[in-house]
Amino acid sequence: MQQRPLVETTLAHHLAYVAVDGIDGSWSFPHSARSGRDEKTFIAEVFDDLKSRYGFTPEKTVIGGFSIGASMAWYTSCQQGEKAAAMVTFSGVFWNPLPKPEDCIADLPPIVHFHGTADQTFPLAGRAIGKEFHQGNAYDSMALMRERARCDAKNAKSVTLDGIRCDDVPDCIRGDSIMCIHNGGHEARADMLDAGLTAVGFSK
Protein backbone atom coordinates (compact mmCIF):
# COMPACT_ATOMS: atom_id res chain seq x y z
CA MET A 1 0.00 0.00 0.00
CA GLN A 2 3.04 2.28 0.25
CA GLN A 3 3.34 2.19 -3.54
CA ARG A 4 1.02 5.17 -3.86
CA PRO A 5 1.44 5.70 -7.63
CA LEU A 6 0.17 2.15 -8.22
CA VAL A 7 -2.72 2.71 -5.82
CA GLU A 8 -3.70 6.04 -7.37
CA THR A 9 -3.49 4.62 -10.89
CA THR A 10 -5.74 1.73 -9.93
CA LEU A 11 -8.29 4.09 -8.39
CA ALA A 12 -8.19 6.26 -11.52
CA HIS A 13 -9.38 3.22 -13.48
CA HIS A 14 -12.42 2.92 -11.19
CA LEU A 15 -11.06 -0.10 -9.34
CA ALA A 16 -10.35 -0.65 -5.67
CA TYR A 17 -6.75 -1.51 -4.75
CA VAL A 18 -6.63 -4.66 -2.62
CA ALA A 19 -3.19 -5.56 -1.25
CA VAL A 20 -3.03 -9.28 -0.44
CA ASP A 21 0.16 -10.40 1.32
CA GLY A 22 1.92 -13.68 1.84
CA ILE A 23 3.28 -14.87 5.17
CA ASP A 24 6.39 -12.84 6.03
CA GLY A 25 6.15 -11.17 2.63
CA SER A 26 6.45 -14.37 0.62
CA TRP A 27 4.19 -17.00 -0.94
CA SER A 28 3.88 -20.79 -0.84
CA PHE A 29 2.89 -21.49 -4.43
CA PRO A 30 4.06 -24.71 -6.15
CA HIS A 31 7.87 -25.08 -6.17
CA SER A 32 8.49 -21.81 -4.33
CA ALA A 33 11.32 -21.45 -1.83
CA ARG A 34 8.82 -20.97 1.01
CA SER A 35 6.41 -23.50 2.45
CA GLY A 36 3.44 -22.60 4.57
CA ARG A 37 -0.28 -22.19 4.16
CA ASP A 38 -2.39 -23.51 1.32
CA GLU A 39 -2.31 -20.39 -0.85
CA LYS A 40 -4.94 -21.63 -3.31
CA THR A 41 -7.44 -21.98 -0.46
CA PHE A 42 -6.35 -18.66 1.07
CA ILE A 43 -6.83 -16.76 -2.21
CA ALA A 44 -10.21 -18.44 -2.74
CA GLU A 45 -11.23 -17.16 0.70
CA VAL A 46 -10.05 -13.65 -0.24
CA PHE A 47 -12.21 -13.71 -3.37
CA ASP A 48 -15.18 -14.91 -1.31
CA ASP A 49 -14.59 -12.27 1.36
CA LEU A 50 -14.39 -9.45 -1.18
CA LYS A 51 -17.59 -10.63 -2.81
CA SER A 52 -19.54 -11.03 0.43
CA ARG A 53 -18.35 -7.80 2.09
CA TYR A 54 -17.98 -5.47 -0.87
CA GLY A 55 -19.87 -7.07 -3.74
CA PHE A 56 -16.80 -7.57 -5.93
CA THR A 57 -17.66 -9.71 -8.95
CA PRO A 58 -15.33 -11.49 -11.41
CA GLU A 59 -16.10 -9.10 -14.28
CA LYS A 60 -14.83 -6.20 -12.15
CA THR A 61 -11.76 -7.96 -10.71
CA VAL A 62 -8.20 -7.81 -12.04
CA ILE A 63 -5.48 -10.09 -10.65
CA GLY A 64 -2.14 -8.31 -10.32
CA GLY A 65 1.29 -8.68 -8.81
CA PHE A 66 4.97 -7.74 -8.86
CA SER A 67 7.98 -10.05 -8.52
CA ILE A 68 7.10 -13.01 -6.29
CA GLY A 69 3.63 -11.48 -6.02
CA ALA A 70 3.41 -11.73 -9.81
CA SER A 71 4.31 -15.42 -9.53
CA MET A 72 1.45 -15.85 -7.06
CA ALA A 73 -0.82 -14.02 -9.51
CA TRP A 74 0.16 -16.42 -12.30
CA TYR A 75 -0.68 -19.45 -10.17
CA THR A 76 -3.94 -17.80 -9.11
CA SER A 77 -4.87 -17.13 -12.73
CA CYS A 78 -3.91 -20.69 -13.65
CA GLN A 79 -6.01 -22.23 -10.86
CA GLN A 80 -8.83 -19.70 -10.34
CA GLY A 81 -8.76 -17.44 -13.37
CA GLU A 82 -12.51 -17.64 -13.83
CA LYS A 83 -12.79 -15.38 -10.77
CA ALA A 84 -11.25 -12.40 -12.58
CA ALA A 85 -11.74 -10.41 -15.76
CA ALA A 86 -8.01 -10.03 -16.45
CA MET A 87 -4.47 -10.21 -15.06
CA VAL A 88 -1.76 -7.51 -15.19
CA THR A 89 1.66 -8.48 -13.78
CA PHE A 90 5.26 -7.31 -13.56
CA SER A 91 8.62 -9.09 -13.31
CA GLY A 92 7.51 -12.55 -12.18
CA VAL A 93 6.03 -15.73 -13.66
CA PHE A 94 5.80 -19.46 -12.84
CA TRP A 95 8.63 -21.38 -11.15
CA ASN A 96 10.24 -24.59 -12.40
CA PRO A 97 9.01 -27.12 -13.05
CA LEU A 98 6.33 -25.14 -14.85
CA PRO A 99 2.73 -26.34 -14.68
CA LYS A 100 1.53 -28.34 -17.65
CA PRO A 101 -1.13 -26.59 -19.73
CA GLU A 102 -3.73 -29.04 -18.45
CA ASP A 103 -2.85 -28.08 -14.87
CA CYS A 104 -4.49 -24.72 -15.52
CA ILE A 105 -8.18 -24.09 -16.05
CA ALA A 106 -9.18 -23.47 -19.65
CA ASP A 107 -11.11 -20.31 -18.77
CA LEU A 108 -7.98 -18.19 -18.35
CA PRO A 109 -8.45 -14.41 -18.28
CA PRO A 110 -6.75 -11.99 -20.68
CA ILE A 111 -3.15 -11.26 -19.66
CA VAL A 112 -0.78 -8.29 -19.84
CA HIS A 113 2.71 -9.02 -18.52
CA PHE A 114 5.64 -6.57 -18.30
CA HIS A 115 9.22 -7.83 -17.90
CA GLY A 116 12.61 -6.13 -18.25
CA THR A 117 15.61 -7.41 -20.18
CA ALA A 118 17.88 -5.99 -17.43
CA ASP A 119 15.96 -7.69 -14.60
CA GLN A 120 18.50 -9.54 -12.46
CA THR A 121 16.15 -10.36 -9.58
CA PHE A 122 13.76 -12.37 -11.75
CA PRO A 123 15.45 -12.59 -15.17
CA LEU A 124 13.41 -13.37 -18.26
CA ALA A 125 15.07 -16.79 -18.37
CA GLY A 126 14.60 -17.30 -14.61
CA ARG A 127 17.40 -18.17 -12.20
CA ALA A 128 18.31 -20.65 -9.49
CA ILE A 129 17.50 -19.80 -5.88
CA GLY A 130 19.85 -21.98 -3.88
CA LYS A 131 20.17 -25.60 -4.96
CA GLU A 132 16.53 -26.65 -4.86
CA PHE A 133 14.46 -23.86 -6.39
CA HIS A 134 14.41 -22.16 -9.78
CA GLN A 135 12.41 -19.29 -11.20
CA GLY A 136 10.75 -20.11 -14.49
CA ASN A 137 11.31 -18.73 -17.97
CA ALA A 138 8.91 -15.88 -18.80
CA TYR A 139 8.55 -16.84 -22.47
CA ASP A 140 7.83 -20.48 -21.62
CA SER A 141 5.34 -19.43 -18.95
CA MET A 142 3.45 -17.22 -21.40
CA ALA A 143 3.51 -19.93 -24.09
CA LEU A 144 1.94 -22.36 -21.61
CA MET A 145 -0.87 -19.94 -20.78
CA ARG A 146 -1.48 -19.17 -24.45
CA GLU A 147 -1.67 -22.84 -25.30
CA ARG A 148 -4.17 -23.48 -22.53
CA ALA A 149 -6.28 -20.45 -23.50
CA ARG A 150 -6.25 -21.61 -27.14
CA CYS A 151 -4.80 -18.35 -28.39
CA ASP A 152 -4.26 -18.04 -32.14
CA ALA A 153 -0.51 -17.49 -32.45
CA LYS A 154 -0.64 -17.10 -36.21
CA ASN A 155 -2.58 -13.87 -35.75
CA ALA A 156 -0.02 -12.37 -33.36
CA LYS A 157 0.54 -8.66 -33.76
CA SER A 158 2.72 -5.93 -32.33
CA VAL A 159 1.15 -3.29 -30.09
CA THR A 160 2.65 -0.48 -28.03
CA LEU A 161 1.81 -0.01 -24.34
CA ASP A 162 3.47 2.85 -22.46
CA GLY A 163 5.98 3.20 -25.29
CA ILE A 164 6.95 -0.49 -25.00
CA ARG A 165 6.67 -2.83 -27.97
CA CYS A 166 4.49 -5.75 -26.96
CA ASP A 167 3.62 -9.11 -28.51
CA ASP A 168 -0.18 -9.41 -28.64
CA VAL A 169 -1.66 -12.83 -29.34
CA PRO A 170 -5.42 -12.48 -29.87
CA ASP A 171 -8.39 -14.79 -30.15
CA CYS A 172 -7.82 -16.60 -26.86
CA ILE A 173 -10.83 -18.07 -25.05
CA ARG A 174 -11.52 -14.82 -23.19
CA GLY A 175 -9.30 -12.18 -24.78
CA ASP A 176 -5.79 -11.20 -25.80
CA SER A 177 -2.52 -12.37 -24.26
CA ILE A 178 0.02 -9.54 -24.27
CA MET A 179 3.70 -9.71 -23.31
CA CYS A 180 5.65 -6.45 -23.04
CA ILE A 181 9.46 -6.66 -22.90
CA HIS A 182 11.14 -3.40 -21.90
CA ASN A 183 14.80 -2.53 -21.39
CA GLY A 184 14.45 -1.80 -17.68
CA GLY A 185 15.07 -3.88 -14.61
CA HIS A 186 12.99 -5.34 -11.78
CA GLU A 187 10.18 -2.82 -11.62
CA ALA A 188 6.47 -2.11 -11.65
CA ARG A 189 5.64 1.42 -12.77
CA ALA A 190 2.36 3.26 -12.58
CA ASP A 191 2.48 4.22 -16.26
CA MET A 192 2.81 0.54 -17.19
CA LEU A 193 -0.13 -0.31 -14.93
CA ASP A 194 -2.13 2.48 -16.54
CA ALA A 195 -1.49 1.07 -20.02
CA GLY A 196 -2.10 -2.51 -18.89
CA LEU A 197 -5.45 -1.79 -17.26
CA THR A 198 -6.55 0.15 -20.33
CA ALA A 199 -5.52 -2.74 -22.59
CA VAL A 200 -7.69 -5.22 -20.67
CA GLY A 201 -10.73 -2.97 -20.84
CA PHE A 202 -10.58 -0.87 -17.68
CA SER A 203 -10.29 2.69 -18.94
CA LYS A 204 -10.09 5.82 -16.82
8-37 per-residue burial string, b: 16 or more CB within 10 A, e: under 16:
ebbeebebeeeebebeeebbbbbbbebeee
Write the pLDDT tens digit of every residue in 139-155: 999 999 999 999 999 99
Alpha carbons 19 and 12: distance in angstroms, whole number: 16
Q: What is the pLDDT of residue 79?
A: 97
Confidence of residue 165 (pLDDT cuts 50, 70, 90): very high
Q: What is the pLDDT of residue 107?
A: 94
Say if residue 35's pLDDT is above 80: no
Say if residue 69's pLDDT is above 80: yes
pTM, two decimal places: 0.96
Say if residue 31's pLDDT is above 90: no
**Mean pLDDT over each residue of the chain, to the nearest integer:** 95
Confidence of residue 176 (pLDDT cuts 50, 70, 90): very high
Alpha carbons 38 and 32: distance in angstroms, whole number: 12
Say if residue 198's pLDDT is above 80: yes
Say if residue 94's pLDDT is above 90: yes
